[in-house]
Structure 1
Amino acid sequence: MKRIALGVCYEGTPWLGWQSQAGGNTVQDVLEQALGRFTAQPVSTICAGRTDTGVHALNQVVHLDTTVERSLESWVRGLNALLPDSVAVQWAREVPEDFHARFSAQGRHYIYLLRQHRVRSPLLQGRVAWVFRPLELSLMQQAAQHLVGEHDFSAFRSSQCQAASPVRTMTQIQIQQQGDFFLFRFSANAFLHHMIRNLMGMLVYIGQGRQPPSWVLHLLAQRDRRLSAPTFEASGLYLAGVDYPAHFDLPTSDPDDLLYELSGLRFAKAAENK
């Protein structure tokens, strides 16, 4: 028995999220179906983080156990030949048995793409979120800094969240603007169910001047989801990457490169804006 790790990229619009459901039509369902055909045996997968309906992934990390002998390149090309166009394996690695896609993860990174314009673009539908009211970048940046560090994020978790604790450590939030487009980067040790979409709802309210940046502190202190803004849409959200201990030697992807492929947006790299 060997353990294989896969890096999976998917466009989430056609799927009911990552996690397998009785009716199918999830990313896990189609990936495990392809794995079953590729290995000629049932295969179960474990992922780094379950994404919701309509949420995308640039580098979702998955592991599986198998007795099948295949070259690493065969895992990539063979599976991609069996997967729908909206899902593709980017890389494959054999990993030690103590590797776990979820529990070995040390940090997770998400990006959110938002366009502010008076008219929606059908060409960006499902890939980039949209608001028609003007947004003030500096207000959202001020608000975001209140979220960095260890906090109880109860005000930003779904009522269906199954996490044992609402406490998470946000290591970084960056917000950039280029023309009509805003790019949000979130990094944390882990995220709660709907946490980023709930944070986005709050940040958009603040960016539109409907609440001051200090509202963040009030919501964190109150720990009441009912007091915050509505959950924002899923379409602009991407799981960008997952951090693992260096000795596992897993490939990483640069979200900027993939964003260029996605929409041609030219955002400066985060390091250049520090």
Structure 2
Amino acid sequence: MARYACKLAYDGTEYSGYQVQPQKRTVQAVIEQALTNIHKGEHISVTASGRTDAGVHAKAQVIHFDSHLQMAPSNWIQALNVHLPNDVVVEEVSEVAEDFHARFHTTGKEYRYYIHHGEVPNVFRRHHALHIKQPLDVPAMQTAAQYLLGTHDFSAFCASNTAVVDKVRTIASVSLHPNGGELEFTIAGNGFLYNMVRIIVGTLIEVGSGKRDAREMETILASKDRAFAGKTAPAQGLYLWQVDYENNPF
């Protein structure tokens, strides 16, 4: 039995999130079905670095699975992609140590969120960026984002129905800048809470729209209360961009 790690990208538009759910199309379900096909009907379970919600995309999700089949990484890539739908692609495969764990061995993640703002929506980005018609004060948003740097209790930026008790996370870098006619928000840290990035983006949009002062971000963090933060931004602009490991498997 060997353990394999895979780096995959997917367009989350037509999925009810990553994790398997009854009677719903999920990324995990189509990957496990592909592996079942390759293994002639034997069910193979996969473990991911983390979940993504319905409509959220991934540029570099990482999963692992165990198999008794011995194949070169290039053959695994070809076999998996033959059996996967065209909105999920395996880009890299590596045989890893038997104790490698895609979720528990992560050391950090990077997410990106794209905002297209202007009078006319971009029809080709409707599933991949959030369109906002009104002008945004980007410098104010950049100022507000800097308050997120460092180690904080991010309870105010976590969905209220989460079961996670420890909400302290460390944000290593954060930026917001124009990119190809859109605003690209990038945030990297040692971990993220449920809906954390989308709530942060929703709050930054309120700053950019003039509904909040940039300095309120510090007060929101200190409150540790979800009610103080802004609305949760829609899913389609969010991408899991990178997953880090101490010993990169690829």
**TM-score normalised by the chain length of structure 2:** 0.97
Other-structure match for 1:92: 93
Aligned counterparts of 2:179 and 2:240: Cα–Cα separation in 1: 21
The alpha carbon displacement at 1:190 in A equals: 0.6
Other-structure match for 2:149: 148
Other-structure match for 1:39: 39
The alpha carbon displacement at 1:159 in A equals: 1.8
Other-structure match for 1:236: 237
| C-alpha spacing 1:91/1:152, structure 2 compared with 1 (3 Å) | same
The alpha carbon displacement at 1:228 in A equals: 1.5
Aligned counterparts of 2:173 and 2:38: Cα–Cα separation in 1: 39
| C-alpha spacing 1:77/1:137, structure 2 compared with 1 (3 Å) | same
Other-structure match for 2:2: 2
Aligned counterparts of 2:179 and 2:66: Cα–Cα separation in 1: 44
What is the root-mean-square deviation of aligned Cα atoms in Å?
1.1
Q: Deviations over 1:13-45 (max 9, x none)?
A: 000010011113000000000011012221111
Other-structure match for 1:110: 111
Aligned counterparts of 2:79 and 2:208: Cα–Cα separation in 1: 46
Other-structure match for 1:28: 28
Aligned counterparts of 1:179 and 1:132: Cα–Cα separation in 2: 17
Q: Deviations over 1:128-165 (max 9, x none)?
A: 11111111111011111100011111111012223231
Code of the residue aligned with 1:211 in structure 2: it is: R
| C-alpha spacing 1:30/1:229, structure 2 compared with 1 (3 Å) | same
The worse-fitting range, judged by mean Cα deviation, of 81-90 and 112-121 is 112-121
Aligned counterparts of 1:8 and 1:112: Cα–Cα separation in 2: 18
The alpha carbon displacement at 1:176 in A equals: 0.8
The alpha carbon displacement at 1:178 in A equals: 4.0
Other-structure match for 2:66: 65
Code of the residue aligned with 1:250 in structure 2: it is: P
Code of the residue aligned with 1:105 in structure 2: it is: T
Code of the residue aligned with 2:8 in structure 1: it is: V
Other-structure match for 1:250: 249
1:115-194 → structure 2 map (5 Å cutoff)? 115-178=116-179, 180-194=181-195
Residue correspondences, number? 249
1:13 aligns with 2:13: yes
Aligned counterparts of 2:101 and 2:220: Cα–Cα separation in 1: 34
Maintained 8 Å contact 1:45/1:62 = yes
Aligned counterparts of 2:173 and 2:203: Cα–Cα separation in 1: 17
**TM-score normalised by the chain length of structure 1:** 0.88
SS at match of 2:22: coil
SS at match of 1:13: helix
Code of the residue aligned with 1:12 in structure 2: it is: G
The worse-fitting range, judged by mean Cα deviation, of 28-37 and 151-160 is 151-160
Gaps of 5+ in 1: 252-274
Code of the residue aligned with 1:173 in structure 2: it is: V
Maintained 8 Å contact 1:59/1:239 = yes
Aligned counterparts of 2:216 and 2:68: Cα–Cα separation in 1: 54
The alpha carbon displacement at 1:231 in A equals: 0.5
| C-alpha spacing 1:24/1:131, structure 2 compared with 1 (3 Å) | same
The alpha carbon displacement at 1:179 in A equals: 6.3
Aligned counterparts of 2:162 and 2:3: Cα–Cα separation in 1: 29
Maintained 8 Å contact 1:117/1:180 = no
SS at match of 1:81: helix
The alpha carbon displacement at 1:68 in A equals: 1.3
